[in-house]
Amino acid sequence: MDEPSKSPMQLLKSLRRNASQGNGQAEQPTPSPREVPDAPDTEEDTAPVRPPLRDRALRVLRSPGTAMVAVLVVFALVNAVVTGRLGGTLTGGRLLPTADLATTWSDYLDAWHAVSGGTGAPAPPSLAVLALLGSVLGGPSVVVSALLLFGAPLAGLSGYLATRGLDVPPLRRALVAGGYALLPASAISAGQGRLDVVVAHVLVPPLLAGIAAVIRRSDGRWLGTACLTAFGLAVLGAFAPLVQLSLILLALLAHVLVPGSGLRGRRRAAGLVALLLLSVACLLPWPVVLLSHPEILLHGLGARVVEQPASVLLAVLSPDGSLPSLAGVLLVLGAVLALAVCFDARMLAGAGVALLGWLVAVVIGTASAAPLTGGVESPGWTGGPLVLVAAGCAWTVLVAKLPALNWKIATPVLAAGFLVLGAASAVGAASGPLQVHQAASGTGTRLVLEPGPQPARLVSGAGPRFGEDDLAPAGAAADWLRQVDEDLASQDGERVRRALAAVAARGADHVIAPSDTRLPELAYDMVVDEGPRPGPTRELRLLVPAAPVKLVGPDLARQAQTEPGPAPEARPLPVDAELPSFSVRISEGGTGRALVLGAENEAGWYATVDGRRVPLATAWGHLVAVPLPAQAAEVQVGYTEMPRTTLLVVQAALVLFTVIAAIPGRPRKVLTALR
């Protein structure tokens, strides 16, 4: 049945009601395409809007991290001025004077070094790092001074930046980084010239963050993160190989303990392999030296010293038991209180780092070994492992979910803690033997008889410099120096005379002896006293022929093949030549004569006579001897550089690959398909 017809007024009201209901429900046609929920956004929609440069600069200046770094810079500058260490080349303790840029490059690149009687051992990669940074910053000595004098602000800055990925307020990050920067163990190490501990103090926080990123990251940038961390580990290993090995062990433990599967697990494994291999390969051929001389891991790099065994005070981050170092207990107490009050599973990572650092410190502080260049057995310095402990304690406090603090109580407590740490660091750094080096002129080769238990050393030029005590001696050079030191310290005139003849055969023309030495009396016909030197020492000049290259006659050459050392009355003829490479023209002479070099006979030496390769011999048990013909001839002697050059090329290629792979790439553009 049809509906009754409606009046015009009712029909108009019905149309208005239907239109009103349709506005909220019906989809209206538009000339633009409909929005597809699954369509990817355009680059303009997803790209973050960066604030203006002025706003970003103001934000950085107002951040707590900037204030923390500024306070630490002022603290370090005042400390450097008060101690008189600002300006010049620093030396003292475990730090030998740093050479200029050209000499530092030469020391690293040369295949043979005139140290401890000559050695072809690879130079430590720390020389390459200082040379690279010194090429930009004004010289290796500037880099060393900046690290030792301003290590605290550098460590605070690295600690603050390394924690950017944590969901932690900037104020707490700045406070924790400031406490870590004022670690008394690091300040004491800086005052004693222990550059390895200072470098570890600066690099450990970002390296821990890099290892954590390698463990967590599963996106397409995993290789860059792994390479960047590997490069940092290589730089750390150039100065502190033990701390580098500890961090690699931490990365492997984290890979085992933290679950990961699928694509994430495969990328993590690949990242760890890249981190492990590249961090070691970038130091070639130095890792081979570490395998041959593991005592370097115990004693670290730097001048040889006699360390004292560690004590139970390692628990409070004290490497030497001194009063200023005891202030490190504040960092340990902060971590213990955080674990006790607000324990969280995230804090276990920092606690694990601290426990591993303590374990390494105990091993290093109790095990003993002789230094690389010889001397009495002693334990290692525990400052490097204690840096790991401090970083673990700081990590534990940083990730703790602390309750709301009453700042009226917390502020004076924190201020008192920072004052104690600052005072302890200042006193610890100032009490060390670090000082500005007073350059002394010197030429030729000298034998230096050092006071105390350290054996004698052969010095060329102005004196020993950074990196020389990290060169592995060739053959029995270390034993020879120890024996010479014992002979010269004896009161037996015959032993003294034979020792001086052996020193002259090495090419040394002077002996630096203690001021109360009796050498001029025991060997009056072999040395002459040239007067006192700075400090309690005297300089003695040898009267017997002393040159790096000598010509010996047939009789003396035959004697050199059977005797352990030259006789005091032996008088070889000095040759005007310098090691390791030289060319001389010899005249006619007797059959059986030879050239004797003041260097250890090791693999790498070669000689040609009139262009033909000749076999080498050994003189006086360990020196290089070149047999000569009776007729006149052209003699060329050198030390091969091919193995060293090949390894340097491989090292440069690996470093270049690591740096390029570590450069972050631009994000891929996402294009929206036209519909």
pTM check: above 0.85? yes
Measure the CA–CA gap between 92 and 94, rounded to whole angstroms. 6
Q: Is residue 11 part of a domain?
A: no
Torsion angles phi and psi, residue 55, rounded to 5: -65, -40
Average pLDDT for 567-571: 84
Residue 638 makes CB contacts below 8 A (sequence gap 6+) with 580, 581, 582, 605, 606, 607
Same domain, 403 and 477: no
Q: Is residue 593 part of a domain?
A: yes
Provide, rounded to the nearest whole percent, the portion of the chain with pLDDT above 90: 51
Return the number of other C-beta atoms located less than 10 Å from residue 217's C-beta.
18
Query: 482 is in which domain, residue-wise?
Result: 445-542
Domain boundary among 542, 567, 598: 542
Lowest mean pLDDT, pick from 241-255, 366-380, 383-397, 398-412: 398-412
Measure the CA–CA gap between 275 and 267, rounded to whole angstroms. 12
Asked if the model's pLDDT at residue 275 lies above 70, the reply is yes
Alpha-carbon distance values, 216 to 265, 268, 350 (Å): 9, 8, 16
3-state SS track over 16-33 = HHHHHHHCCCCCCCCCCC
What's at 467, amino acid-wise?
Answer: G
Provide, rounded to the nearest whole percent, the portion of the chain with pLDDT above 70: 88
Measure the CA–CA gap between 635 and 611, rounded to whole angstroms. 8
* DSSP designation for 568: T
Same domain, 211 and 355: yes
Arithmetic mean of pLDDT over the chain: 86
Residue 69 makes CB contacts below 8 A (sequence gap 6+) with 153, 156, 157, 160
Same domain, 426 and 510: no
Domain boundary among 521, 542, 563: 542
pLDDT given for residue 458 in this prediction: 86
Q: List the one residue out of 336, 311, 343 whose CA is nearest residue 392.
A: 336
Same domain, 508 and 586: no
Average pLDDT for 311-334: 93
Q: Are 549 and 595 in contact (CB under 8 A)?
A: yes
Same domain, 507 and 424: no
For 367-387, what is each residue's pLDDT tens digit?
999 888 888 889 999 999 999
Q: Are 584 and 635 in contact (CB under 8 A)?
A: yes
Helical (H) or strand (E) element with 538: strand 537-542
Q: Is residue 440 part of a domain?
A: no
Q: Are 211 and 222 in contact (CB under 8 A)?
A: no
Same domain, 310 and 373: yes
Asked if the model's pLDDT at residue 520 lies above 90, the reply is no
Q: Is residue 108 part of a domain?
A: no
Asked if the model's pLDDT at residue 48 lies above 70, the reply is no
Give the count of domains, the chain. 3
For 482-497, what is each residue's pLDDT tens digit?
888 888 888 888 899 9
pLDDT given for residue 352 in this prediction: 94
For 675, how many CA atoms within 13 A lie in the half-sphere containing its CB? 11
pLDDT given for residue 49 in this prediction: 61
User: Which DSSP string corresponds to 443-495?
Assistant: -SEEEE--SSSPPPEEEETT---TTGGGSPPPTTHHHHHHHHHHHHHSS-HHH
Q: Is residue 33 part of a domain?
A: no
Name the maximum alpha-carbon separation found in the chain: 147
For 175-196, what is each residue's pLDDT tens digit?
999 999 999 999 999 999 999 9
Q: Is residue 61 part of a domain?
A: yes
Same domain, 253 and 393: yes
The answer for 126, left when phi > 0, alpha when psi is -120 to 50, beta otherwise, is: alpha
- Per the model's pLDDT, the better-predicted residue between 10 and 582 turns out to be 582
For 416-454, what is each residue's pLDDT tens digit?
999 999 999 999 999 999 999 877 666 678 888 877 777
Return the number of other C-beta atoms located less than 10 Å from residue 57's C-beta.
11
Alpha-carbon distance values, 255 to 250, 365, 462 (Å): 9, 28, 50
pLDDT given for residue 222 in this prediction: 80
Lowest mean pLDDT, pick from 57-66, 392-401, 503-512: 57-66
Asked if the model's pLDDT at residue 674 lies above 50, the reply is no
Q: Is residue 315 part of a domain?
A: yes
Helix 170-181 and helix 64-83: axis angle, to 10°?
20
Q: Are 152 and 75 in contact (CB under 8 A)?
A: yes
What's at 239, amino acid-wise?
Answer: F
Strand order in the sheet with 549-552: 573-574, 549-552, 594-600, 623-627, 617-619
pLDDT given for residue 167 in this prediction: 86
For 100-123, what is each residue's pLDDT tens digit?
999 999 999 999 998 888 899 999
CB-based burial of residue 11 (10 Å sphere; 0-12 exposed, 13-18 middle, 19+ buried)? exposed
562 pLDDT band (50/70/90 cuts)?
A: confident
Grouping H, G, I as helix, E, B as strand and the rest as coil, residue 225 is helix
pLDDT given for residue 663 in this prediction: 86
Same domain, 238 and 297: yes
Domain boundary among 542, 558, 587: 542
672 pLDDT band (50/70/90 cuts)?
A: very low
Same domain, 319 and 290: yes
Lowest mean pLDDT, pick from 50-64, 412-426, 510-524: 50-64
For 148-162, what is each residue's pLDDT tens digit?
999 999 999 999 999
What's at 105, amino acid-wise?
Answer: W
Same domain, 464 and 607: no
Residue 652 makes CB contacts below 8 A (sequence gap 6+) with none
Average pLDDT for 499-521: 88
136 pLDDT band (50/70/90 cuts)?
A: very high
Same domain, 457 and 412: no
Q: Is residue 649 part of a domain?
A: no
Average pLDDT for 215-229: 82
Measure the CA–CA gap between 405 and 657, rounded to whole angstroms. 48
Same domain, 336 and 482: no
Whether the link from the prior residue into 580 is cis, omega within 30° of 0, is yes
